[in-house]
Amino acid sequence: MSLFALFAPHLSAAEMVQDKDKIAALLLDRRERYQSCADLVLSPNSTQSVQKIMQLAWANKIPVVPIGGNTGLCGGASINGGVLLSLEKLNQINPVNTADRCITVGSGSLLYQVQQAAKDAGLFFPLSLASEGSCQIGGNIAANAGGINVLRYGTMRDLVLGLEVVLPNGEIISSLQPLHKNTAGLDLKHLFIGSEGTLGIITAATLKLFFLPQQVETLWASCANINECINLLNILQKHSSGSLKSFELISHTALNISANDLHTTPPTNAAWHILCEWEKTQNTERLPETLLQHGFEHILIAQNEQQRQNWWRLRENISAAQKRRGVSIKHDIALSIAALADFVAACEKNIQAAFANAEIVLFGHLGDGSLHYNIFLPDYPDKSVYQFENQINSIVYQVVLQHNGTIAAEHGVGILKKHWLKNMRNASELALMQAIKQHLDPYGIMNPHKVYPE
Ligand SMILES: Cc1cc2nc3c(=O)[nH]c(=O)nc-3n(C[C@H](O)[C@H](O)[C@H](O)COP(=O)(O)OP(=O)(O)OC[C@H]3O[C@@H](n4cnc5c(N)ncnc54)[C@H](O)[C@@H]3O)c2cc1C
């Protein structure tokens, strides 16, 4: 029996995706790095439909790969045969619960829609990524997304109060109550946050909301070296009473690529730039003055909302501008702040020893130690650069590991980094992960061949 014939009697016609353009878009990831091939694409419109799909998949041992906004950067939602399960129709956004400061949403809701729903109720959902117009809450949870506000509000893991998940055998577990505390047994939601679709399908989530920041102050600083950037971070943290919410690093190269792409002039010219933002309070009034007293002369404070948005546009446009220049080898890494300067120097030395012309495009969320470390080889501006991917990854990841960092800060492991997981986790940790996976998914149908080394 074909997969279509197996699933069609149990789902509505609209849940059986047949539009060729729609399917083509789902089968190619945003980076155009992974071309997938699926036997069937389904788009369930309720948790009950997801349950039915998983019951049938379990009974017939059919691989199922969940896909959200398809903006993941390490092939987590790529598929090679089986059912591709698009969650986009699970996009119900319930009214904000102002008393408990939370909101319950379907996992297919777009991140920016959830931000907007919170804002409309006078509250704030702080997860913010350059892909927020297309990524979905389920994908954000499955990848434990980070973004620009982690310094103050944490990663997606810190923002989830409860989850509804359909397990590989079709059972549903749910903890969508608006409880900020619950120590009754193991907190199972944490198993699924960051599990990249390998343990179950997230169908809904209850998310924490915060009060809207009254007013923010945005600062652009230029620094001669990484240590100066870290010094700036320390001073701001010390004097901002915890209200510093973003602290982004942008290298000279990254800034120029973005500025050229936007046909604009960078605000300053230096080796390194910092774009950071804090929520204004009485305590932060004297911050700019304090920075001057500490010798930070090259700082600008955004004078109006337009200037603030222009600066953020320069930062958020880096990935898109890079993509328009050609294909690069991307890394999403994190290090302790104390190790950052050494790492940057050592990695640059090793990359340049192997590829003299390599352009290192470095930017990221320095405030929490995570960096986007992208390599562009001007002689190989297209997909031919992938012939060097393993070599470049080895250079970067070895330096990361020597500095006790991580090869996956916020994009997950997917298919791209699964061979590196054994360098990150010890044998007992890997065995425990495999045991959990085996318990929930003994037939290996749930997003197979991802994350765990085979
Ligand atoms: C320009 C750009 C900037 C980015 N910036 C950031 C950034 O600053 N910080 C950051 O963390 N990430 C960033 N990302 C990466 C990406 O946007 C995030 O990983 C995002 O959380 C993925 O969401 P998605 O809905 O697109 O998931 P997808 O790409 O569709 O899927 C990602 C993984 O989650 C699984 N999955 C998806 N939905 C579900 C579900 N409902 N249940 C179970 N598993 C599911 C998939 O199988 C896959 O393994 C960026 C990406 C781009 C293109």
Q: How far, in whole angstroms, is CA 453 from its chain's centroid?
A: 21
Which of 215, 61, 226, 205 has the alpha carbon at shortest distance from 139?
205
CB of 7 within 8 A of CB of 53? yes
Q: State the fold for domain 216-319.
A: Alpha-Beta Plaits (3.30.70)
Start and end residues for every CATH 3.30.70.2190 domain found in the chain: 216-319
Which of 361, 357, 351 has the alpha carbon at shortest distance from 380?
357
- Mutation probe of ligand 1 site: the residue of 129, 132, 159, 441 with most atoms within 8 A of C-beta: 129
- 10 alpha carbon to ligand 1 midpoint, in Å? 29
The answer to whether the CB of 411 is under 6 A from ligand 1 is: yes
What is the arithmetic mean of pLDDT over 339-352? 97
Start and end residues for every CATH 3.30.70.2740 domain found in the chain: 327-416
| Cα distance between residue 419 and residue 397, in whole Å | 12
Q: Looking at the domain covering 327-416, what would its CATH class be?
A: alpha beta
Which residue's CA lies nearest to atom 7 of ligand 1? 147
What is the arithmetic mean of pLDDT over 262-290? 91
Other C-beta atoms lying within 10 Å of the C-beta of residue 91: 17
Which of 276, 181, 176 has the alpha carbon at shortest distance from 236?
276
- 179 alpha carbon to ligand 1 midpoint, in Å? 26
The mean pLDDT value of the chain amounts to 96
How confident is residue 288, by pLDDT bands cut at 50, 70 and 90?
Answer: confident
pLDDT at 297 over 90: no
CATH number of 102-211: 3.30.465.10
CB of 215 within 8 A of CB of 304? no
How confident is residue 260, by pLDDT bands cut at 50, 70 and 90?
Answer: very high
- In this predicted structure, what is the pLDDT of residue 214? 82
**Domain 3-86, second-level architecture:** 2-Layer Sandwich (3.30)
